[in-house]
Amino acid sequence: MFAALGLQVLAFFRYHGELTLLHWHTWGGLLRGRLSLRETAKQMAEVGIGSLPVAMVTLAFTGMVLAYHIAQTAARYGVGSMVGYGVAESVCRELGPVLVSIAVAARSGSAMAAEIGTMKVTEQIDALRAMATDPVDYLVLPRYVACLILVPVLVFMGDVTGVAGGYVMATISPFINEAQYWSSIPGGLTPWVIIAGLIKALAFGILIALVGCHQGLYCEMASEEVGRATTRSVVYSIMLIYAMDLALTAVLYPV
């Protein structure tokens, strides 16, 4: 039992050590000007356009459901005028950054792991090294920058979509007044809530890129391992997003 536990502890620290080294290596390539603008633009299109539909649909329906439940509770206590603020605060503070990042991890993070893992299994990464090309600079850095830029953009768009989805519910629900829905937002929602949500999105974007690329680079040399690496990238990204969300919430919103 102790041997199995020790192996899990060592694997935990080894994994996070590899992520840290990959992060430093990526930043080293960025500071040395090794970023390929053409490849970065390609990855930005993949992350942004590829993840946009699922992120928008997720936040739209989340905003609608959230508005409906908040409206029922607010009507019970006579504060129906605060429904719009409640939806905007919940979406911008927590739901927008987390749900959009999970959608990006499932859509784009898994694609990164699968693509790089396939290159690893087919020895294309070894070919890059033979041509004196750093795989981290060529493969990881463009994906890192793409997630760094596009995930906050997607989160901001998701925040707007979530609030708009709540308004759609306001137009068809007897519990919500349409005019009061919008009027309660400017007086309650502070700019810091939006900024803090984007800071979370920035951290989550870095995490998604590192986890996805790490799983591809460290994939075992077998075809079935590509699928396992893809699955691990999604599972690890979601778990780490939740853990990082807790840490950032304590830092960004101190008691």
Residue 134, Ramachandran bin (φ over 0: left; ψ between -120 and 50: alpha; else beta)? beta
Q: Please give the average per-residue pLDDT across 26-42, as a whole number.
A: 91
CA–CA dist 30, 81 (Å, integer): 49
Centre a 10 Å sphere on the Cβ of residue 162 and count the other Cβ atoms it contains: 28
Structure tokens at 217: 């680079």
The pLDDT score that the predictor gives to residue 186 is 83
Token pair 């919500």 is found at 176
The pLDDT score that the predictor gives to residue 219 is 87
CA–CA dist 144, 31 (Å, integer): 13
Q: Looking at the predicted structure, is the pLDDT value of residue 177 above 80? A: no
The pLDDT score that the predictor gives to residue 236 is 94
Contact by Cβ (8 Å): 42, 145: no
Q: Looking at the predicted structure, is the pLDDT value of residue 218 above 80? A: yes
**pTM summary value:** 0.91
